[in-house]
Amino acid sequence: MLFEVRMDVRIPRELDRQTRQETIAREKAYSQKLQRGGEWKHIWRIVGKYSNISIFDVESTDRLHEILWGLPLFEYMEIDVTPLAQHPSAI
């Protein structure tokens, strides 16, 4: 199942620097593991924002939910999920 996921990150300014850096490093490692595993197919930065558009290819909505809830930055994100289907004009 394919999903487009937009993630807008809003880390509180008052979060201490070390916690911020460690959380961002864990987020990077987590996302790269999923990319190498093939579930996180694509990730693009949205220019000028701390946001991204990602494409996930997962076995179920439950699996996508599990992945998103596992994001180290999850508590600082606003996430929008759009299920995708093949377009009849695609080649």
**Model confidence over 8-23: pLDDT tens digits?**
999 999 999 999 999 9
pLDDT number for residue 14:
95
Beta bridge partners of 74: none
Query: What average pLDDT does the segment 54-64 reach?
Result: 98
If you average pLDDT over every residue of the chain, what do you get? 97
Q: What is the pTM of this model?
A: 0.92
H-helix or E-strand containing 64? helix 61-69
Q: Residue 52 falls within a domain, yes or no?
A: yes
pLDDT number for residue 78:
98
**Total number of domains in the chain:** 1
What's the domain range around 64?
A: 2-84
User: Which residue, 12, 40, 14, 41, is CA-closest to 27?
Assistant: 40
42: domain CATH number is 3.30.70.1060
Q: pLDDT category, 40, cuts 50, 70, 90?
A: very high
Q: Residue 91 falls within a domain, yes or no?
A: no
Beta strands, E only, the chain: 2-9, 40-45, 51-57, 77-84
Q: Residue 90 falls within a domain, yes or no?
A: no
